[in-house]
Structure 1
Amino acid sequence: MDSTAIFSTFGLFVTLAITLSVVLALIVLLPWLRPRTGLDNQLIKVNIDVFKDRLAELSADYQAGAIDASSYQTQKTELERQLLQATYEQDDTLLPANKKSRLIILIWLPLLMAMGYVLVADRSSVYTLWQAEDSVGQVADDLLTSKIDAPPDWATKDSVALISAMQTNVYRHAYDPDRWVRLAELFGSLQADQQAVEALSRAHRLDPQNDAIATAYAQSSFFANGGMLDADSHKVLQGVLMRHPDHQGAQMLMAMGEARAGNYEVAQAWVRKLRANIANKSGDHSAALASLDELSETIRGQQQMAETQKQSQKSYEVAVSVNSNLLPLIHESDVLFVSIRDVNGGPPFAAVRLPAGQLQQGGITTVQIGDQDAMMAGRDLSSAINQGLKLVVSATISASGQAISQSGDLSATPIPLQDDGNQINIEINQQIP
């Protein structure tokens, strides 16, 4: 079965390749196949002219009495014989050689092309694909067009061949969104989430008004991204809801996506809207409503946890002012850096970068700085305080915009960080030499 299957595709390929090679050979040989009558006639004309000249000389000698009649007739016959022989040799030597050259090229050109195709690279993968298409190609097409729901047992013995045939079939019908959807289902069953998302993305681009495809694409992307809605998925769901405001699948995805993004109030609004839509429908929907109540409670718990975590984060309010003598040294493009670091030096545990424009007029800039301004993950104010480190608050006005202080920058005397209050006042009172 395999050898017969290979021959159908391989035989078609070889037939087309030979045909193309022969056509190319004929194109190359076309100038040689044109009649050579012009060149042949020119050579014959030269021979005739030479014959006429020699015949004229012979006639002149005969009339002058240099030769007798018998010699004249013999030499004239010889000239005619030489003319006929030259014409025959031209046809017998030149033309057969040309025919032989044409025949050689006509045979060798297709042969060299075939050798080049086989020897330039390894073609085993191509032959394997041809075998897969011939053995399970029809099964793949039936699966992708929903003619069958599951492949026969004999086709599943070589799953790699079936997958290859399905992918090739989809790319051959690249403008059919349904085939892309079925391919995405195949990838999903193989837990190839990113490939499934890409297949559904192509299906959605081919049929953007299909709500089922759009919702499937957004859902696949949602789970592939760890429960997060990216910008494209969010836009797709908004399009579905614009066409069908009561689409339950889109509402559920929006609720879960907004909750995961920390937009808890928006998520609760989607849950309430979805609950109202289900409650207004006839029939018993107690199980669905109970699930929505559970989802709402889960979102509420996530919100409370986030607020508790936020309240537990260390944060300080730093009021920065500038000594009046240094105000003329501040420029509009200068940058204010406020940081909290170990008294012994090292990278800051928190840092804030702001324009220094307000300080230029002698005002006070209030800066909120805390765990949210950590420079590195796991290295924040809370961890530093828990370690019992002695921390200081620093403030610098940089003319270059760089965090590292340079000559001419303005700075404040570092102030020790106290745990008894969150309000810190610091004055920029010196210029770095």
Structure 2
Amino acid sequence: MTLILFFSLCAVLTVIVSLVVIFPWLRAKRSSDNQLMAINVQIFGERVAELDADKAAGVIDEASYQAQITELKRQLLDAQTVAETHAPVGVKGRAIVMIWIPILAATAYVLVADRTPVYALWQAQDTVGQVADDLLTGKIDVPPEWAVKDSTALISAMQTNVHRYAYDANRWMRLSELFLMLDAKPQALEALARANRLEPDNDEIALIYAQTSVFVNEGRLDAATRAALEGILAKTPNHEGAMMMMAMGESRAGNYTQAKAWIARLRTNITQSSGDRSEALASLDKLIANINQQEAAIAQGVSVVVNIAPNLLKEVKPDEVLFVSISDQAGGAPFAVKRVSVAQIQGAGGVKVSLSDLDAMMPERTLSSARKSAATLVVNARISRAGSAIAQSGDLFANPVVLDKQTEVALTISQLVP
């Protein structure tokens, strides 16, 4: 239906444009169209009479009289010639224009680009558009079987629907659920971010957005997630879910002091509440034990400070990736490696990275076991343009530093991989 309506409107529009172009030709030629020529003839007669009077009065001589009469006749003849050259277009010319304008318009539309995706979207709107709207408005929770058979069409219809009602936060929420079911995590997070921007005071949306963000980002708190949780806690200071996520996020970021502070605050809130909360307290104990274990491992690890040479700082882009690793000088997989966003270096002028057994790629290949062996360990730092763990041409790197018993190392990115 949408496709038929579109082409019908296109046909009507091209006919209207054709009529607009040839409308001046459709008017019949009338005697009134020659009013300008009649005025020219009248003025010619008046000027001749004036010249006759001037000649009779002796104002001009015979030579001047004849010269001016000749000039007036030439001007009148020129006016007649111009009028005759602007002859009206015939029926054949009008028909050609009316036919070719629609043909050329249709040809241009077809040849400019491949319209197949557009037609497919229109077809999806006609077949599953109502199903998509019912899903996004909560009228149904599960689409009918016939609609699920073409999942691509259903997803397209739902995406089109939420953009049509772009200010409806609930539609964005339901779209995020669909993306999560399809394991499209980045798209789900973007849909939730839009919902949170539309209703920043909705704690339920903010909490779901924060939970999804932490899940997608492997436990890390980004600026938007932190702001959402802080907004919840500003209105509800004892919100246990928000406090737990703050504690987990700070722990994942290595901010153990802040994580313990959130856990202590959460423990106080749980203790003061009624009912059996032993299970919740036990989970907090496990979290504290895990944090203590991580702190102990980091204490035995190595702190690496990475800077970028001033002459290379402008060449580095925020979306590139820094890899810091400790490996055997003889080669092999690293004993510890950490991936860091280059934006952290650019913002602070340098970054401090902790490498320990927690950053091992394999459980049996740890930094502590390597230090006990006779292997010569080196610390490496490399900025990958493509985000690859394997060095590629154009990457930036620092000269490796041999690791002995020191617990702090400084590296400067100053070399280019040929």
TM bin (shorter chain): 0.5 to 0.7
- Alignment partner of 1:23 is 2:23: no
The aligned amino acid for 1:312 is Q
- Alignment partner of 1:144 is 2:144: no
SS in 1 for 2:2: helix
Does the Cα contact within 8 Å between 1:204 and 1:210 map onto a contact in 2? Answer: yes
Sort the Cα spacing of 1:36 and 1:254 in 2 relative to 1 into closer, same or farther, 3 A: farther
Sort the Cα spacing of 1:294 and 1:280 in 2 relative to 1 into closer, same or farther, 3 A: closer
SS in 2 for 1:19: helix
- Alignment partner of 1:308 is 2:308: no
Does the Cα contact within 8 Å between 2:298 and 2:355 map onto a contact in 1? Answer: no
Sort the Cα spacing of 1:183 and 1:265 in 2 relative to 1 into closer, same or farther, 3 A: same
Residue aligning to 1:354: none
Distance, in Å, in 2 between the alignment partners of 1:390 and 1:116 is: 66
Residue aligning to 1:80: none
Sort the Cα spacing of 1:141 and 1:266 in 2 relative to 1 into closer, same or farther, 3 A: same
CA shift, 1:13, in A, is 0.3
2:173 to 145, 168, 181: 181
Sort the Cα spacing of 1:106 and 1:125 in 2 relative to 1 into closer, same or farther, 3 A: same
Sort the Cα spacing of 1:240 and 1:32 in 2 relative to 1 into closer, same or farther, 3 A: farther
Sort the Cα spacing of 1:189 and 1:371 in 2 relative to 1 into closer, same or farther, 3 A: closer
CA shift, 1:239, in A, is 0.9
CA shift, 1:276, in A, is 4.0
CA shift, 1:172, in A, is 1.2
CA shift, 1:291, in A, is 3.6
TM-score by length of structure 1 reads: 0.58
CA shift, 1:279, in A, is 4.7
Identity percentage over the alignment?
46
Comparing 270-279 with 235-244, greater Cα deviation is found at: 270-279
Does the Cα contact within 8 Å between 1:314 and 1:381 map onto a contact in 2? Answer: no
The aligned amino acid for 1:226 is E
Sort the Cα spacing of 1:381 and 1:263 in 2 relative to 1 into closer, same or farther, 3 A: closer
CA deviations 1:167-224 (Å, max 9, x no partner) are 1111111121111111001001111111000001111111111111111111111000
CA shift, 1:12, in A, is 1.1
The aligned amino acid for 1:152 is P
Residue aligning to 2:150: 158
2:240 to 242, 248, 254: 248
SS in 2 for 1:148: coil
The aligned amino acid for 1:297 is D
Task: Give 5+ residue unaligned stretches, structure 1.
Answer: 1-7, 51-89, 316-341, 343-369, 392-402, 405-416, 424-433
Distance, in Å, in 1 between the alignment partners of 2:136 and 2:366 is: 53
CA deviations 1:336-368 (Å, max 9, x no partner) are xxxxxx9xxxxxxxxxxxxxxxxxxxxxxxxxx
Sort the Cα spacing of 1:197 and 1:242 in 2 relative to 1 into closer, same or farther, 3 A: same
Sort the Cα spacing of 1:314 and 1:199 in 2 relative to 1 into closer, same or farther, 3 A: closer
Distance, in Å, in 1 between the alignment partners of 2:377 and 2:199 is: 62
TM-score by length of structure 2 reads: 0.60
SS in 2 for 1:310: helix
Distance, in Å, in 1 between the alignment partners of 2:29 and 2:355 is: 94
Does the Cα contact within 8 Å between 1:314 and 1:382 map onto a contact in 2? Answer: no
SS in 1 for 2:210: helix
Residue aligning to 1:238: 230
Residue aligning to 1:191: 183
RMSD: 4.4
Task: Give 5+ residue unaligned stretches, structure 2.
Answer: 45-83, 304-327, 329-353, 379-397, 408-418
The aligned amino acid for 2:297 is Q
Say which one has the larger Rg.
Answer: 1
Within 5 Å, which residues of 2 pair with 1:75-154? 94-95=87-88, 97=90, 99-154=91-146
Sort the Cα spacing of 1:131 and 1:119 in 2 relative to 1 into closer, same or farther, 3 A: same
SS in 2 for 1:387: coil
Distance, in Å, in 1 between the alignment partners of 2:269 and 2:34 is: 95
- Alignment partner of 1:387 is 2:374: yes
Distance, in Å, in 2 between the alignment partners of 1:243 and 1:119 is: 57
Residue aligning to 1:333: none
Distance, in Å, in 2 between the alignment partners of 1:202 and 1:252 is: 24
Residue aligning to 1:229: 221
The aligned amino acid for 1:242 is A
The aligned amino acid for 2:200 is P
Count of aligned pairs:
298
CA deviations 1:352-409 (Å, max 9, x no partner) are xxxxxxxxxxxxxxxxxx979xxxx999999578436599xxxxxxxxxxx99xxxxx
